[in-house]
Structure 1
Amino acid sequence: MPDWSYHTIFKPILHRLPPVFGREFIHRGMNTISSIPFGEKVIEFLGHMETSPALKKELFGISFPSAVGLSGKIDPCLTGTKAFQHLGFGFLEIGPITKETINGKDLRLDRRNEQITFIKSESIGLIEAEQKLSSLKERKVPLLLRLEGTMAEIYSLTESFLAYADVVVIKYKPDYEFQDIKTLKSLLNNKSLILTISNKDLQHLLQQIPRLEIDGIMLEEDFHKESSQQLQSHIQSIRQLNAVEVDLPILTVGGIKEPQDAIELFTEGASLVLLNFEYVFSGPGLPKRINEVISQTSNKMVTKIEGWIWYYLFGFCILLAGLLTLIFSMTKVILPYDELFLQMVRGEIIEFNSLILNFMAHDRMTLAGTMVSGGFIYMQLSKHGIRNGFHWARKAVNVGAIIGFLGIFLFIGYGYFDWLHGLFWLILLPLFIKGFLQTKPASLTPSSINLTNHTYWRWSLIGQLSFVILGFSLTIGGIVISIIGATTVFVPTDITYLCMTADDLHLFNSRLIPVIAHDRAGFGSALLSVGLLVLMIALWGIREGERWIWWTLFIGAIPAFLSGIITHYVIGYTDFIHLLPAYLAFFFYVIGIIFLAPFLLKGQPSKR
């Protein structure tokens, strides 16, 4: 559930539900998706939240994919554990795990002030927790197990859950004896122990830390404080710990509403941070945004990928072919090899029904515009994305190109193999293969300069949703048109425009319909490829200040829309139902361009 769907669609709905019900509904939904075949791939495709290898952090003798984790209070029932492993977190806190079940109905949600109050810890209890953890077949990130209860209960819980823990977390209590901690450490089999403490109790603990056999300190949140107050409280506590030279990793819980907050904590000396209730309001993209800001520094040293030029030439050839196709479709329409296949010249077709030539021109013009748009997008992705080493841009080009290549096999359905199409395929293929082989080093994960949840960022989510819808719509449209082109060829409005049936056309020339089907299926294939490109850019490429993304989407769509809409008016094919998909697509395009412009072109506004 990326931010573009969470903030625009799901959050307004979920926040009108009872807090616990809404939480469990969304967590179970995410877990269900991640559990089905290819579910994890779907999550990755929609969110692209994998962390950069440069963000890895070694602590407690284990490797953390990133320094951003999730507090166990967000998912106390462990219903979303599997899904959260794919949402950009470097680790998860599990728990608190207690011997008995603790009901969570006292959870309070303050939507206006964006604050959640946990009246008391919520826990599903020993038995259910063990069932949930044992069903977790694959662990992709380290798990920090928080155990609560009396010391005797914690000893027992440790024996039951040690196999699931990478690190054990317990809450500091003044009545704990040093021997209690020492005994617990002996039960951990060399696994690390973290002690959690509130900021207000830290002073009491400072003098005792050197004598305690612990491996880290976790600064707890105070639910009576606002996010900004919590952040400042953590910063003060970290400074206190640094002042007495406590040589232990410091973890913090809560106080992070936007990436800038996490950066402040890391700058002060926090080793790991856990997102808490602010995550519910800031959105599931928050860990990804933090990771991308941290990645910004490391990405500056990456060398350019030289093989990008082959992908660029690949796109340029498509653009050039689209322009040539446009010229032919606006003049002669039917080429000599078409006439040879038809065993008929264009004049004979015009004499029989001039609308047939107009109809073929409209199919070829829309194909031409789509090719020009697609070629331009390929060129932009190559120059600005692949050249700079970004893996997502290379993946987008590869997916779009491979789907486009496969489109040639649609001729099996309509029976007319266009030799010029085949020649064009053979020209493009070496360029693509050369680019594919020489750009393999492009493995850079995205970085970002977005530090705050400012107004332009919120607007951009509407724009991103619009382009996601547009990309999905074009993709589905391309599939439908490809199928129609390889099967029935015509839709009812086509027959109305032509003023004759498919049988009439077949009686006139049995080879005419295969030629029309070839144009239609070719357009469907091109539209499918371009739709996927738009979709992947919308899903993976929207980041603050990325001006080239905005220009790619703005300019890239113009040829396709001009050819797809104006052509119909030129030939008089203006049926509203037939053009409705194009009108809707243009609507989402305009909304997307308007709402993305400030975020992509300007960046952060001067005032929040």
Structure 2
Amino acid sequence: MPDWSYHPLFKPWLSILPGAFGREFIHRGMNSIVIIPGGKQLIEFLGHMEPSTKLKKSLFSSSFSSPVGLSGKIDPNLSGTTAFSYLGFGFIEVGPVSLFKNASSEKATFNKRTQAIDFPNPLESIGIEKTLIMLKKHKARTPIFIRLNIEQNDPEDILKLTKHLQPFADVFIVEWGQFKDNIDLIEQLATDCEKPIVLAISHHIMQEMLREYRPFFYTEAIKGILIDEANSHSTAELVDSLIQLNEFGLGKVPKIVSGGVYEPEDALKLFENGADLVMLTDGYVSSGPGLPKRINEALLDSLSKEDDLIELQGWKWYWLFGFIILCGGLLALAFSMTRIILPYDEAFLLIKKEELFALNPNLLKFMSHDRMTLAGTMISGAIIYMQLAKNGVRFGMHWARKAINIAAITGFLGILLFIGYGYFDWLHGIFWIVLLPFFLWGVFQTKTAIHSPLSKNRRNTFAWKKVIWGQLCFVILGFSFVIGGIVISTIGTTSIFVSTDIGYICIPPKVINNINSNLIPVIAHDRAGFGSALLSVGLLVLMTALWGFQQGANWVWKTFLIGGIPAFSAGIFTHFIIGYTTFIHLLPAYFALIIYIIGLILSKPFLYNHSKD
């Protein structure tokens, strides 16, 4: 659930649902998507949240794809554990786990003013039996930190928990408050347990425990320390705790911070002051599921240097691929505004353009409108291809290369659509053959385009809140084009005409077929070709909207602005030129144009902001 769907669509009504119903609805829903065939790929497609390989780190004998994890407070029932490993997290906390179920008498409360959550104390636990059931279902993709809950400090209880949980745990977390009266238990646990032990301590009692527990770090009974926010929701206090650890000579001890992160800047401050890992708590809920991705992109930006930027020369082949499509679109536009019917069309129809015009002027105009909209769509697609190549693939952006490949392959397969009615346009065939080598060479030459995007976004600014709506507009626009392309392609290979088409032409398809049996195949070929082009361009718009919205990426805004003009101009103005202005027929185009303009307005402040905020 990316931010563009969470904030505008889901969060408003989830917040008013009773109790934990909204939380469980979302978590179970995401988990259900992950376990179905293709579900993981769908989540990756919609969010593209896989962290950059540059963020990988090793700690506690485990490998982390990202230093950002999720606190067990967010998913106490483990109903979304599998899904969370696909949302950009490098590790996931489970628990606290107790021997028996513990339903807290308190409930988590959401403060609308501060956008923070006050979690119950003690935290709820589903018990060891249910935890084991859920962990067995979970396909481990990220390290699992299991927090133990032993209120009675019974050594046998501790051994029971660790024995059952050890196969699933990469790290065990124990809370200082449960061991402060029996410190020896920690050494016993460290001796009997095969997994690293991390001590969790609330930041407000940090000084109280440091002198008492420092020897355990030197003997390595405790492998790391976790600083809990204790419902203060203050990043500054957590930073002070990290500084205290350094002052007490524990700077080399691995440090994890749980909570206090509501925007990427908070996480960066914690990392800068010595945190090795951070766990998101209520910030994940208030800022949205896109927060781990935003942190990963901001962290990558902070680690990157200008010297790291290496251009891939293979981008030029993709650019040329787009340029050839641009030339083809311009040529098609010129034909649609002049000859309309080409000589080989006339040869297939066995009639001249003048005869067709004499038969029914609107029929020729209708064919012109099909070919002009195809030309406009081709030109728009070409602009997006060229922009993705120059500004994305050129700098090794994996998402830009992936977008080009998916859209191009879809476009190539579209040639199969317009041969179903017995008319193969040889010019299209030649165009296909000319394009293919440029595309294949581009694929071959850009295999090293594996970089993840980085972003200068650090804060939950007003521009960021607006761009979520702007991104949603372009996602809707892309989906609309994809659906429109499928519908038009289907019509082009089946019924050919819709009711408004027949109303404009004033001749039923059966009559047209009786007049000239080759005429409908020519029209079908145009319709299917346009549908295929619209589907391909729709995928380009959709993938650029899903994956390319990073702060400062003004080229994305320019791509949408410039790329949209040819398609909308050809798709709307053409109808007025030929007099085909039926409102219901043009309604989808009007809707798309409105969404397009709103998206541009809402997105510009964010995409044009190059400062780190």
**Which range, TM-score by smaller chain?**
over 0.9
Pick aligned residue for 2:222 from 191, 214, 222: 214
Deviation at 1:177, TM superposition (A): 3.3
| Distance in structure 2 (CA, Å) of the matches to 1:511 and 1:127 | 71
- The answer for the alignment partner of 1:276 in structure 2 is 281
1:389-538 to structure 2, matched below 5 A, reads 389-538=396-545
| Distance in structure 2 (CA, Å) of the matches to 1:76 and 1:70 | 11
* One-letter amino acid of the counterpart of residue 15, structure 1: S
Question: What whole-Å deviation, never above 9, does each CA across 1:215-261 have from its counterpart, x for those lacking one?
Answer: 000011121x2x3xx21111111111101111311111111110000
| Distance in structure 1 (CA, Å) of the matches to 2:344 and 2:387 | 34
Question: What whole-Å deviation, never above 9, does each CA across 1:491-544 have from its counterpart, x for those lacking one?
Answer: 111100000100111011000000000010000000000000000000000111
1:340-419 to structure 2, matched below 5 A, reads 340-419=347-426
- The answer for the alignment partner of 2:24 in structure 1 is 24
Query: What TM-score does the superposition give when structure 2 sets the normalisation length?
Result: 0.96
| Distance in structure 1 (CA, Å) of the matches to 2:305 and 2:581 | 50
Deviation at 1:299, TM superposition (A): 6.5
Aligned length: 600
Deviation at 1:486, TM superposition (A): 1.0
| Distance in structure 2 (CA, Å) of the matches to 1:414 and 1:480 | 17
- The answer for the alignment partner of 1:192 in structure 2 is 196
Q: Secondary structure at the match of 2:323?
A: helix
**2:457, 2:612 within 8 Å by CA — same for their partners in 1?**
no
1:115-134 to structure 2, matched below 5 A, reads 115-120=116-121, 121-134=123-136
| Distance in structure 2 (CA, Å) of the matches to 1:376 and 1:529 | 13
| Distance in structure 2 (CA, Å) of the matches to 1:80 and 1:564 | 44
**2:418, 2:526 within 8 Å by CA — same for their partners in 1?**
no
Deviation at 1:139, TM superposition (A): 0.9
| Distance in structure 2 (CA, Å) of the matches to 1:322 and 1:101 | 66
**1:68, 1:89 within 8 Å by CA — same for their partners in 2?**
yes
- The answer for the alignment partner of 1:298 in structure 2 is 304
* One-letter amino acid of the counterpart of residue 463, structure 1: G
Pick aligned residue for 2:346 from 316, 320, 339: 339
* One-letter amino acid of the counterpart of residue 106, structure 1: K
Deviation at 1:604, TM superposition (A): 5.6
- The answer for the alignment partner of 1:553 in structure 2 is 560
Question: What whole-Å deviation, never above 9, does each CA across 1:42-78 have from its counterpart, x for those lacking one?
Answer: 1000000001111011111111111110000000100
* One-letter amino acid of the counterpart of residue 200, structure 1: H
After TM superposition, the structure 1 stretch with the greater mean CA deviation from structure 2, 237-246 or 201-210, is 201-210
1:126-165 to structure 2, matched below 5 A, reads 126-136=128-138, 138-149=139-150, 150-152=152-154, 153-165=157-169
Deviation at 1:176, TM superposition (A): 4.3
* One-letter amino acid of the counterpart of residue 221, structure 1: E
Where does structure 2 lack aligned partners over 5 or more consecutive residues? none
**What's the RMSD between the two structures over aligned residues?**
1.2
* One-letter amino acid of the counterpart of residue 570, structure 2: S
Runs of 4+ deviating beyond 4 Å = 603-606
- The answer for the alignment partner of 2:110 in structure 1 is 109
| Distance in structure 2 (CA, Å) of the matches to 1:258 and 1:82 | 24
| Distance in structure 1 (CA, Å) of the matches to 2:107 and 2:187 | 35
| Distance in structure 1 (CA, Å) of the matches to 2:313 and 2:181 | 61
1:223-242 to structure 2, matched below 5 A, reads 223=231, 225=232, 227=233, 230-242=234-246
Q: Secondary structure at the match of 1:151?
A: coil
Q: Secondary structure at the match of 1:144?
A: strand
After TM superposition, the structure 1 stretch with the greater mean CA deviation from structure 2, 96-105 or 254-263, is 96-105
Where does structure 1 lack aligned partners over 5 or more consecutive residues? none
| Distance in structure 2 (CA, Å) of the matches to 1:295 and 1:484 | 46
* One-letter amino acid of the counterpart of residue 65, structure 1: S
1:299–1:364 CA distance, 2 compared to 1 (3 A): farther
Q: Secondary structure at the match of 2:395?
A: coil
**2:396, 2:449 within 8 Å by CA — same for their partners in 1?**
yes
1:291–1:572 CA distance, 2 compared to 1 (3 A): same
| Distance in structure 1 (CA, Å) of the matches to 2:443 and 2:298 | 29
| Distance in structure 2 (CA, Å) of the matches to 1:357 and 1:299 | 58
| Distance in structure 1 (CA, Å) of the matches to 2:571 and 2:454 | 36
Q: Secondary structure at the match of 1:92?
A: strand
1:249-268 to structure 2, matched below 5 A, reads 249-268=254-273
**1:54, 1:298 within 8 Å by CA — same for their partners in 2?**
no
1:5-20 to structure 2, matched below 5 A, reads 5-20=5-20
Deviation at 1:351, TM superposition (A): 1.0
* One-letter amino acid of the counterpart of residue 5, structure 1: S
Question: What whole-Å deviation, never above 9, does each CA across 1:141-200 have from its counterpart, x for those lacking one?
Answer: 1000001013322221111111100000010135343431121112222x2100000112
State, as a whole percentage, how many aligned pairs show the same letter.
Answer: 52
Question: What whole-Å deviation, never above 9, does each CA across 1:272-301 have from its counterpart, x for those lacking one?
Answer: 111111210000000100000111133740
**1:479, 1:525 within 8 Å by CA — same for their partners in 2?**
yes
Deviation at 1:411, TM superposition (A): 2.6
* One-letter amino acid of the counterpart of residue 281, structure 1: S
Q: Secondary structure at the match of 1:222?
A: coil
**1:463, 1:591 within 8 Å by CA — same for their partners in 2?**
yes
Q: Secondary structure at the match of 2:585?
A: helix
* One-letter amino acid of the counterpart of residue 230, structure 2: D
Question: What whole-Å deviation, never above 9, does each CA across 1:407-449 have from its counterpart, x for those lacking one?
Answer: 0011342221000000000000000001000000000011000
| Distance in structure 1 (CA, Å) of the matches to 2:353 and 2:482 | 33
**2:456, 2:611 within 8 Å by CA — same for their partners in 1?**
no
After TM superposition, the structure 1 stretch with the greater mean CA deviation from structure 2, 2-11 or 293-302, is 293-302
Deviation at 1:134, TM superposition (A): 1.0
| Distance in structure 2 (CA, Å) of the matches to 1:601 and 1:266 | 27
* One-letter amino acid of the counterpart of residue 587, structure 1: I
Q: Secondary structure at the match of 1:334?
A: coil
**2:463, 2:606 within 8 Å by CA — same for their partners in 1?**
yes
After TM superposition, the structure 1 stretch with the greater mean CA deviation from structure 2, 287-296 or 197-206, is 197-206
| Distance in structure 1 (CA, Å) of the matches to 2:48 and 2:141 | 16
- The answer for the alignment partner of 2:34 in structure 1 is 34
* One-letter amino acid of the counterpart of residue 282, structure 1: S
After TM superposition, the structure 1 stretch with the greater mean CA deviation from structure 2, 294-303 or 517-526, is 294-303
* One-letter amino acid of the counterpart of residue 64, structure 1: F
